[in-house]
Chains A and B, each alone.
Chain A
């Protein structure tokens, strides 16, 4: 287990050395990949000295000096927080997100803030005001998004672990494209306090790592009830032991479903790799069964209609008066309009306008209310499946990462890449992506779903797939 070994190394080696190695690598390679917007070298160095002392007397926290990168829509106090946008280019967060508090308490070292699609509006990592993030596996290709820098920094060895956020696939997509592990926890398991809003009823922060162990380790640290996020629920908080205690035989108790709708219209080569892995799991003793998810074809419209409306509400706070970019005007209306117009990118504007439109009096029943009613159908579909199955398996993305110049920029088509990932957000359940192969050097991701608050099942499934792929 890669991450476990890392920790062991740290406890006998020098934290400062490890940190400097990473910093060197970043300075050499990140100019090209562009996974960081802000580096926190000074703070990281300070932390490493303090944590080294704790390691020396055996009092270190769970994260033991592991190096962690943080998506730039999550507040780290006294550090720039841009959300990938000109609107917050010079905003210094005055507080720590709850999960950042937890990470610091457990002695994680925060090395920097990661690049991302502007305000999390995107699935390929190219819409940041600070330039696109390139895929470390092949820099001509996109890294995926919106947690593009998070996935890339782990893939490129700039960080041991990362925290991203997932609203419709924003952790799983870049994890799949960059060939790393990523998890979207159940809604309510991890506090959103300090994570900039995009679609409040669907999003949440989550871990990225090189293996299941790393995912479980970080999840243990960040999960749990928080009075600053009223949606949070109590956590089991022993996910690491689920992974550590997993035995090879446990696969025989797994009932895994696969939905044929998840395999329709996707790249043949991806299909084959995923089906192959499913075959291996079956040969190892898992019970594999086909199921139907008829609501899949409605996922994209339902997801986006709800996301647009929540996003337009979340974005109203940006008027330039209290923070961020500001252009004045004759009066308060003009000043705010000028400011917002000049500081936000096209996709952000598009979503604000659409969200405003569908919540207006005359249009809301037709679009907004309808989408909310339809959302129940998605949730019910999953509930039906999880009554009789532990996991749902399939590919993470319907296509391989496109080349940077060749990406789809036309709206309806662009949105459809979320078709396999967004349903988990609509239903609030947990899901993960892990690398299971590659095509012409580009990684292929396999996705698992488990029912809400069933992270233990999900992690066992991830471990099973990890072992099936020859992972340690």
Chain B
């Protein structure tokens, strides 16, 4: 079962994503303009080709863009389409599209899988510019930035998993160095159907959070419609980032005949098996192989491994911390608490202050009994936020636990001596007295006594104290 799936079990959710990521290159896909358009004032990062001046023609496809896309596909376990591929013209009129057609390729790779979700296909296309609807303003700087479109199967079963999926996918692509990491550089079209009903498409969601919110909203909205006795018909909706809701689009805008034709200005391209092997050889370990190795090498459980491998930064981090601590513990902490904290704060391994040493130190303290599991959870949060060394954090928060038997016995004896009535009460069968005594130990040690050890020693001591 997919994580979070049980929350929505009766809804039979089918969620698929069409993810657009900007590929990392120096030049645009069909011209020599810079891809660093974000730092440019409006309409200053342009040329005759990306503004579609009469007579202009596209230059050959940017080789690096194609290479980066192939890396993505291979990493996701896809197979390449073994035939000459065309760039097509997809015709529709829109102010941010200078030619009023978008150049988009046929499927380049197919049939991959990531985090248990099928990847249907990946292809390359050019980014349009920006049209601010409400202000009637157009900026063509972004026209021609190379995009990879990744289309998943509708295998995602919850908004939470969609969020995790997208987040980890983007982190891994960033790790591979194939995408631009600036904000606004990922866009997704989200498809959802509930209870076997018609598919709703939500267009142009511009953030991971947006994907989550859009799906949550849609589920509520669709359930409400069905409860009122209505039906869900197939339609395209628009996501409003401001209000975090989806809105129906005017029917006219959604009826489209794109009249695809192979672009007569661009010769077909072909990805040879040799080229693929060459690229594959310089890629880091694939998720599939990493999973096998983690299970074998570290004896980790499948669920933990799945949570580690989807974020390449995290899996590297785990392996580093496992060098200096118990791998099973390292795996557990990295896959659960650490990941959770990072997600909550919208951080990644690379953007937070936590290091593998934090985790290995922390685990070692726990193993020596100096840190309780409960307090460890707080320590992780601090490490993520401040990056301070574990011993410092433990001192500051007074987390050092007393678990050495000798030390505890000394304190126990003191408490027993000072509270004779409680001892008598316990001996006459009053369990509460035990807790009272334990509370006294906690006070004496300012909360640092290892609870389970303390209780055990107390019981022993009281038993032997005739």
Contacts and interface: CB of A to CB of B under 8 A. Distances in A.
A83 B100 CA distance: 19
A83 B55 CA distance: 10
A127 interface: no
Contact of B54 (A88, A309, A310): A88
A201 B264 contact: yes
> Which bracket fits the contact residues of A?
35 or more
A134 interface: no
B59 interface: yes
Given A75-B54, A322-B51, A231 B265 contact: yes
B342 interface: no
A316 B267 contact: no
A78 interface: no
A93 B55 contact: yes
Contacts of A27: none
A310 B264 CA distance: 8
Name which of A83, A192, A193, A231 has the most chain B CB atoms within 10 A of its CB: A193
A317 B60 contact: no
Given A97-B55, A193-B55, A230-B58, A313 B93 contact: no
A95 interface: yes
Name which of B55, B94, B265, B267 has the most chain A CB atoms within 10 A of its CB: B55
A317 B98 CA distance: 6
Interface in B163-183: none
Contacts of B51: 322
B236 interface: no
A193 B57 contact: yes
B279 to A, nearest CB: 23
B296 interface: no
Nearest to A321: B95
Nearest to A195: B55
Contacts of A364: 259
B161 interface: no
Interface in B74-123: 89, 91, 93-95, 98-101
B261 A317 contact: no
B56 A193 contact: yes
Interface in B258-282: 259, 261, 264-267
Contacts of A88: 54
Contact of B99 (A75, A93, A316): A316
Contacts of B138: 321
Interface string B117-148: 00000000000000000000010100000000
Given A230-B59, A230-B60, A359-B261, A313 B54 contact: no
A95 B54 contact: no
* Prevailing SS type, chain B contact patch: loop
A58 interface: no
A194 B101 CA distance: 19
Contact of A73 (B55, B91, B99, B265): B55
> Which bracket fits the contact residues of B?
20 to 34
A313 B261 contact: yes
B54 A91 contact: yes
A317 B264 contact: no
A322 B264 contact: no
A74 B55 contact: yes
B100 A319 contact: yes
B257 A361 contact: yes
Interface in A225-275: 227-231
A194 B267 CA distance: 18
Contact of B53 (A231, A319, A323, A360): A323
Contacts of A321: 95, 138
B364 interface: no
A332 interface: yes
A418 interface: no
Contacts of B49: 228
Contact of A309 (B98, B99, B261, B267): B261
B13 to A, nearest CB: 31
B57 A192 contact: yes
B60 A323 contact: no
Name which of A73, A194, A309, A322 has the most chain B CB atoms within 10 A of its CB: A322
Contacts of A75: 48, 53-55
A359 B53 CA distance: 24
A67 to B, nearest CB: 23
Contact of A322 (B52, B55, B89, B93): B52
Name which of B51, B57, B94 has the most chain A CB atoms within 10 A of its CB: B57
A316 B59 CA distance: 20
B261 A196 contact: no
A81 interface: yes
Contacts of B59: 227-228, 230
A279 interface: no
B53 A95 contact: yes
A41 interface: no
Contact of B261 (A93, A229, A310): A310
A313 B103 CA distance: 12
Name which of A195, A227, A313, A333 has the most chain B CB atoms within 10 A of its CB: A313
Given A91-B54, A323-B54, A317 B265 contact: no
Given A230-B266, A231-B265, A310-B264, A316 B91 contact: yes
A230 B267 contact: yes
A81 B54 contact: yes
A409 B164 CA distance: 64
B55 A316 contact: no
Contacts of B60: 227, 230
A382 to B, nearest CB: 20
Given A230-B59, A359-B259, A317 B54 contact: yes
Interface in A343-397: 356, 359-361, 364, 368
A94 interface: yes
B327 to A, nearest CB: 53
A94 B56 contact: no
Contacts of A73: 54-55
Nearest to A81: B54
A336 interface: yes
A322 B98 contact: yes
Given A231-B267, A359-B261, A194 B91 contact: no
Contacts of B58: 230
Nearest to B58: A230
B57 A229 contact: yes
Interface in B15-33: none
A316 B93 contact: yes
Interface in A395-410: none
Interface string B376-417: 000000000000000000000000000000000000000000
Interface string A81-99: 1010000100101110100
A197 B100 contact: no
A319 to B, nearest CB: 6
B262 to A, nearest CB: 9
A333 B48 contact: no
Contacts of A333: 93
B419 to A, nearest CB: 83
A200 interface: yes
Given A227-B60, A356-B259, A316 B264 contact: no
Nearest to B60: A230
A360 B58 CA distance: 25
Nearest to A119: B54
B95 A332 contact: yes
B54 A196 contact: yes
A289 to B, nearest CB: 35
A228 B32 CA distance: 10
Interface in A311-347: 313, 316-317, 319, 321-323, 332-333, 336
Nearest to B131: A332
Given A93-B55, A361-B257, 4 more contacts: A97-B55, A194-B55, A227-B60, A313-B261
Please provide the 3 A-B residue pairs with the shortest distance between their CB atoms, ordered closest to farther.
A200-B264, A316-B100, A201-B264
12 contacts: A75-B48, A75-B55, A81-B54, A193-B57, A228-B57, A228-B59, A229-B57, A230-B58, A231-B267, A323-B53, A332-B93, A360-B259
